[in-house]
Chain A
Amino acid sequence: MRTSIITTIFRKEILEVLRDKRTLYLVILLPFFLYPALFFLIGKVGQSQAGKMQQEKVTVLIDPALEQTPVPALIGSDPSFVVKVQAFDSQALAEEKTTIGIRVEGDYAAGLAANESVILRITGDFSKDLLDGRKQSITGLLNKLNQSLLEERLQGVKLPPTFAQPLLIQEEDLAKPSQRIGKVLGAYAPMLLMLFIFTGCIYIAIDITAGEKERRTLQTLFTTPVNVREIIAGKFLAVACVGLASALMNLFSLVFAVLLQAKLMGGNVSAISLAVSAQGWVWMITLIVLSTVFLAALSMAVSLLANSYKESQSYVSPLMMLVLIPAVMAQMPGMELTMTTALVPVLNICLAIGAIFKGAFSLPAMGLVVFFALLYGLLALYLASLIFGNENVVTGEKVSWKLLRRGV
């Protein structure tokens, strides 16, 4: 293979990508602005909705049997409630959008005097976000009343407040903040990374394979004194580079958006750190490069089966599922890197990257994943070159599996 020829093909493909405003926009620029814009928009809309809900008044209808109890005053202490002491029909409340009812079962004063539990029933349509949120506020207020009544009862029988709480459960998390961040990143970052690399690769792979077949430029290339492996290598490098650039752009944008959002919400951004060692970064970069090799070659092989841009797009969804399912599986509780999971493409890389983020990876496991990731990458490249060498690809016709099996 001649490096000068591979470089020539690679340079030409990249030049065409850089001149294609649509590709440039979708693969490089859009990801850069997408996440900050989305996070900002979601944050703003969320804030605005929360503000609206906070300002909206909710009427609380209180059973007249509770009029002489602390309940009306307690609920009325929250300015977002309008308290009305009046009888109400529970079924009728189902039609109300801003009304909640509180009813007592039995005699409130007599129940308390007899040291019994008095049932207070909060009624409303809690499928509505506003009423569900306010129900929690009412429960909080009533819990405070409950606590003070309990203390009164304990005082009455001369028992300390701790009497009603034999065990006080406390947690002590020994994980460092960086490890906690690593756990979250380890669960989600590998899947996002695979998704970003794949979307970056598939778009350009379709353009320079099926797109070229459709535009009738591939045949010209095959009449030059260049062998199939050189063409594959040049085009593959271009796909991998764009895929990697797109993934990095997505990742930087996402991290920037998360940090920006954390800052806007008043979080301490400078306290955010990762538990990834220098060795971990080396493994991580190796795995990202290998997954790019695999996904770029796979994208090319599948795109080559199509005769047109439109046809190749119908292959994208099934292929996306093939990539996403193992990536999602990697997030499942208890899923770890073992001899078996190290054999599964995409899943092995997701688990390995997850382990690096958590700062809990072993060298033999990493070696195994790298070996299989490399193997699958080379197999995908071999498949792509096999399809590329098919004479139906050369003449811009449908690829025949029969010819492919015979290696024609």
Chain B
Amino acid sequence: MPASIEARNLGKRFGEVHAVQEVSFEVHPGEIVGLLGPNGAGKTTTLRMLAGLLAPTAGEAFINQHSVQKEPLLARRALGFLTGDMDLYRRLTPVELLAYFGQLYEVPQPELQRRIDELVEAFGIGEFKDKHCEKLSTGQKQRVSIARTLVHDPAVVVLDEPTTGLDIMASEFILQFIRRMAKENGKAVIFSTHHLDEVERLCDRVVIIHKGRLQHHGDIDSALAATHQARLADAFFEMVQF
């Protein structure tokens, strides 16, 4: 089965600083891959290159077999992207926001309405769907953000720290949704987080980046075996200790 996400020797240099060097990995349909690394490791830069927000200075990225650099619009059409850096339009309601992004992805009108209804139902947005986004709580905003990421039913979903700032109930809701999205709907998901317990529960494989370089790419058991540790957290610390 062809990979839905492929990073091929990706590199990014900002002046003299190498933020990311020779990072390669793949994510297949139905897989959830955890992207791990300490702050400043190069996770966000890698994700931004996958989304076409940053141009790599080396290597290439593919989304649904489309080169992010050469076919950016086709690649982005297949991608749902959410990072902690993104916020909602303050003066739009959640439904207006979903409709706006649906139109930008050129989802046909009858299908868009059906999709919005589904997402409003799935994320429990109905109770605040007519409120302006600036009046929503952090948890409500995050639900709308994820719904926005999925409005065009993308084959690939990239989520950068989607549970940050959320309480345990909201976090659990989102984790369950990510699992269903991958396992029931066959989406390829990259999930970046600092919560290693979430990774253990959710991810099929992990990609660990440190100082811009790939430290590990494989399933959780292989990470434990490589470091002779019993817990992912200990394995992670050992890999990023130098």
Binding site for B on A (CB under 8 A): 4-5, 8-9, 12, 15-16, 19-20, 215-217, 219-227, 391, 394-396, 408
Contact = CB atoms under 8 A, between A and B. Distances in A.
Contacts of A225: 72-74, 76-77, 104-106
A8 B104 contact: yes
Contacts of A221: 104
Contacts of A217: 86-89
Contacts of B100: 8, 12
B103 to A, nearest CB: 5
A224 B90 contact: no
B103 A223 contact: no
B81 to A, nearest CB: 4
Contacts of A408: 55
Interface residues of B, number: 31
Interface of B: 48, 51-55, 72-74, 76-77, 79, 81, 83, 85-92, 96, 100-101, 103-106, 132, 148
Contacts of A19: 91, 132
Chain A residues touching B, majority SS: helix
Given A220-B86, A225-B73, 8 more contacts: A8-B104, A216-B87, A217-B88, A222-B53, A223-B81, A224-B101, A391-B54, A394-B54
Contacts of A395: 48, 53-54, 85
Contact of A12 (B54, B76, B89): B89
Contact of B92 (A8, A16, A391): A16
Contact of A224 (B89, B104, B132): B104
A227 B55 contact: no
Contacts of B76: 223-225
B53 A394 contact: yes
B91 A16 contact: yes
Interface centre among A15, A20, A220, by most B CB within 10 Å?
A220
A216 B90 CA distance: 11
Contacts of B53: 219, 222-223, 391, 394-395
23 contacts: A4-B106, A5-B104, A8-B103, A9-B104, A12-B92, A16-B90, A20-B91, A217-B86, A217-B88, A219-B85, A220-B87, A220-B101, A220-B148, A221-B104, A224-B76, A224-B101, A224-B105, A225-B74, A225-B104, A226-B73, A227-B73, A391-B54, A395-B48
